[in-house]
């Protein structure tokens, strides 16, 4: 199978980077994401994990992918997949309580844009994610846009994922 690539974009800012799917390390997750593309949603900047932006989606796979290629210390350019029960995230501290509640599940697709990340949540402890993609082009410009997002706010910005 040929390598597959996606574009990850901050739509309002007009910034796009290219990522390669890590199908040899996370085949089930890559297939689930690829089949669901295109995806886009409100972007959030992490409070605890540090240098991370993400968007939340309803579950899109027929069955939830297993934890593959796990990490709690993502590196710059990692794309990570997380699935959360609504009860885990239903607090205003995370900034998206309007979308989550007990009995629901949310998929979090995240981009880590700089180093020194640690997936430790004060409410639930360690939060391993599946590394399913790696940015191969445009990370520097995306990191600048992510830092701007942190400083100036995420309101009105969309994080999108689409096939190239």
Q: What is the pLDDT of residue 5?
A: 98
Plot region of 52 (φ>0 → left; ψ -120 to 50 → alpha; else → beta): beta
3-state helix, strand, coil in the chain (%, to 5): 20, 40, 45
Instruction: Read off the tokens for 76.
Output: 């710059």
Which residue is it, tokens 């994922």? Answer: 161
pLDDT digits (tens, 9 = 90+) for 74-120: 999 999 999 988 666 656 655 555 555 666 788 999 999 999 999 98
**pLDDT above 80 (res 141):** yes
Q: Give CA torsion, residues 51, 72, 32, 95, to 10 deg.
A: -50
**pLDDT band at residue 143 under the 50/70/90 scheme:** very high
Which residue is it, tokens 């900047």? Answer: 45
Q: Comparing 85 with 133, which gets the higher pLDDT?
A: 133
pLDDT digits (tens, 9 = 90+) for 149-160: 999 999 999 999
Number of neighbours of residue 47 by Cβ within 10 angstroms: 12
């Amino acid at each position: 199978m040929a390598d597959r690539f996606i574009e990850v974009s901050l739509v309002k800012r007009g910034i796009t980077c290219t990522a390669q799917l890590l199908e040899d390390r996370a085949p089930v997750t890559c297939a689930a994401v690829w089949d669901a593309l295109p995806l886009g949603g409100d972007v959030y900047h992490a409070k605890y994990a540090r240098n991370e932006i993400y968007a939340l989606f309803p579950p899109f796979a027929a069955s939830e992918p297993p934890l593959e290629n796990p990490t709690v210390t993502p590196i710059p350019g990692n794309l990570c997949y997380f699935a959360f029960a609504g009860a885990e995230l239903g607090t205003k501290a995370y900034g998206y309580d309007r979308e989550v509640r007990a009995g629901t599940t949310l998929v979090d697709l995240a981009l880590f844009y700089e180093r020194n990340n640690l997936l430790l949540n004060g409410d639930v402890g360690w939060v391993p994610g599946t590394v399913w993609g790696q940015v191969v082009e445009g990370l520097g410009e995306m990191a600048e846009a992510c830092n701007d997002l942190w400083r100036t706010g995420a309101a009105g910005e969309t994080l999108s994922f689409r096939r190239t």
